[in-house]
Amino acid sequence: MTQRLRVVWTPEMLRYDFGRGHPMAPDRLDLTIRLARELGLLADADLVGAAPASDALLATVHEPAYVAAVRRAETEGVADPARGLGTDDDPVFPGMHEASARVVQGTVDAALAVVAGDAVHAVNVAGGLHHAMPGAASGFCVYNDAAVGIRAMLDAGVERVAYVDVDAHHGDGVQAAFWDEPRVLTVSLHESGRGLFPGTGHPDETGGRHADGSAVNVALPAGTGDAGWLRAFDAVVPAVVEEFAPQVLVTQHGCDAHRLDPLTHLRVSVDAMRLASERLHELAHELTGGRWLALGGGGYAIVEVVPRAWAHLIGIAAHRPVDPDTEVPLAWREHVLETYGRTGPTTMSDGVTPAFRTWRSGFDPSDEVDRAIRATRAAAFPALGLDVEHD
């Protein structure tokens, strides 16, 4: 197996652009790659672009009529609100199909490279478009690259894939694609749908009739910070992934759980996100022989948060983790000031040392986060053969 990291990147990825004023600004991708390059994280990585995915590949997850509707939206500017096209979340833009399909192909190529051993790990920060449904765009996502990538792995002979999603929003599209598929475990750690799009991801969503226990959802209360977020991650994610024993690990690293994100209500730091990425990397080496595909996702503090969070992810995947005390390179900060008129962050840390109590320290029924964790464990653990109290 090669020890090189594959990073999916071409400036053409910046064409996934809903237009001025939309939260899903492609600038966050450009700033991430610029920062990773300035930190020296791409020196030993293979940067690989992608052509747009074929309609046949998209049809492994998406309805052909929906793909045709996206094509019409691209060529004719025709909105189709019933399929989520032309809405405030997913406005029609020129090149919509091609840009979205390119992200999909990048993720699929990366997934198959990891499966074949052509890359030790792979990262596609443009990917992680986890809300797209088989027949509709949703939540800034036109095609679901994560679901198509996982389907490609199954079609290539992989028997078990674990998908872990730490975006502040529930990974509903990936869960829906594999709701009744026992070969795929979907785990989502997110803000409760009681007050945040898409309104799903409740603990009792545990999979279909033929795949009970294949969906695991941790719905955290608004305001959850590092200690609660990491406690929830530690109390659920390692246990269910280890029990499932995947052959490949796919992770989605939306960084909109950050306290500065304008669209969500969690209070997580870049430092806590870095710890979660490190733990997922460790799980890949412990359980899958290192077969790990990491994707981007949400994240709308495009200067202050996204580039640092994803540069940390790239560094971990490259086996060159960035010390949180590292100074953000001056050239990157000058580019931010010149381009956006803003002062960027000066270090790769939020200046905190995240800490948490493990679940073994005991359940506190008066704590809202603990109640959320307990609800998930009670709903999902028995179907996986895990002990609600101890595993």
Which residues does the annotation mark as catalytic?
131
Q: Which two tokens stand for residue 168?
A: 């502040």
Q: From the centroid of its chain, how far is CA 351?
A: 24
Q: Which of 204, 218, 117 is nearest to 168 (CA)?
A: 218
Range list of β-strands (E), the chain: 5-8, 45-48, 121-124, 161-165, 184-191, 215-220, 248-252, 292-295
The whole-angstrom separation of Cα 215 and Cα 179 is 7
Run of H or E including 193: none
- Sequence-distant (≥ 6) Cβ neighbours of residue 251 within 8 angstroms: 163, 164, 165, 166, 277, 280, 292, 293, 294, 295
The whole-angstrom separation of Cα 314 and Cα 310 is 6
Q: Which of 130, 128, 150 is nearest to 29 (CA)?
A: 128
Helix residue ranges per DSSP H, 117-187? 145-155, 172-177
β partners of residue 7? 47, 123
Neighbours of 366 (CB within 10 A): 6
Q: Which of 37, 44, 8 is nearest to 122 (CA)?
A: 8
Residue 232, phi-psi category: left (phi > 0), alpha (psi -120 to 50), beta (remainder): alpha
The whole-angstrom separation of Cα 232 and Cα 383 is 19
The whole-angstrom separation of Cα 341 and Cα 332 is 13
For residues 260 and 306, the answer to whether their CB atoms sit within 8 Å is no
